[in-house]
Homo-oligomer: A and B are copies of this chain.
Amino acid sequence: MKQSIGVVGTGRMGANMARRLKDCGYPVTVVFDVRPEAAQALAVELECRAAKTLEEVNSLASVVLTVVTDDAAMNGIFSESGDSLLRGARDHVFINCATVSPAIHREIANRAQQQGAHTLEACMASSITQARNGTLYLMIGGPSPVFESVRILLSHLSDDGKLLRYIGPTGTAAQVKALVNMVMNINTAGLAEGLGLGAALGLDLTLLREVFGQTGARSGVLQTDGEDMQNRAHDCYFSAAHAAKDSGIALQLAKEAGLHLPLASSTLEQFTRMVQVGLGELDKSGIAELTFPGRGPKSGSGV
């Protein structure tokens, strides 16, 4: 029998995962958001309940997907006092999909365990469209029996499981996700510098991107962000603010490990600068606004 599903955090990712699971025949019974109107709209669409409290979510679903913003939000929904997903949690499985720190994943796992509940990290390395189509790249951390108990459900979200990777114990998936995004952000910031300098030199950027793609400069972000950088098409799929957050998580891990990572540090500074000058809600490709001549907050200087 298919588990009843609740979704906490009905932003675009959470809403699309709910839609996908409903399409796959799962009873999506309840949704919740800190913005009640967002939850209500999705509830109408999915013909389910918009819970007023987190405890109510637990009363209506046995598997709860959480897709919240950051560590603080995770702390909030799994609060040890007041309304919380820890109330009425026994035997529930919480699948936590937000990109948050490994430490908070471990902390929440401990709190849930004390209530007789189970948690998994399901870190996503893809975006909104993939959530809707069920083709998310999912990295799973947590006890493997808990993973097995929801493997089929997760497979429906990850191209029949082809994009599903079990990483290891709680915290490791978030570590890998932080590293993926750290490296992706570095490559993005570097690409923006290469194309920005190409623009300054008056080169044909379409030819330059072609050459990058055929040489040692090729990368995933060249494919996903290169043309957008050239054309200043920065509609948000993955915001600069998110990039700053994720690079920050990775650099905190590096600090704890005693590693000095100058590229990751420079990248964090660039994305932080985007936030500071009001460009934080652009897509990460918007970092090109800092590196192309004549663009950016201080027009003409490129800085």
Contact = CB atoms under 8 A, between A and B. Distances in A.
A44 interface: no
- In order of increasing CB-CB distance, the 3 nearest A-B pairs are A186-B190, A184-B216, A200-B257
Interface string A188-202: 011101101110110
A135 to B, nearest CB: 12
Contact of A187 (B190, B197, B211): B190
Interface stretch (A63-71, A89-97, A261-269): A261-269
A294 to B, nearest CB: 11
Contacts of A126: 215
Nearest to A225: B216
B257 A180 contact: no
Interface string A170-194: 0010011001111110110111011
Given A194-B183, A293-B259, A203 B175 contact: yes
Given A197-B261, A217-B179, A186 B184 contact: no
A263 B186 contact: yes
Given A176-B208, A259-B291, 17 more contacts: A175-B198, A176-B211, A179-B194, A180-B212, A186-B189, A187-B217, A187-B219, A189-B262, A197-B261, A200-B258, A201-B253, A215-B220, A258-B301, A260-B302, A261-B291, A262-B269, A263-B263
Contacts of A183: 190-191, 193-194, 212, 217, 219
Interface in A54-74: none
A275 B280 CA distance: 37
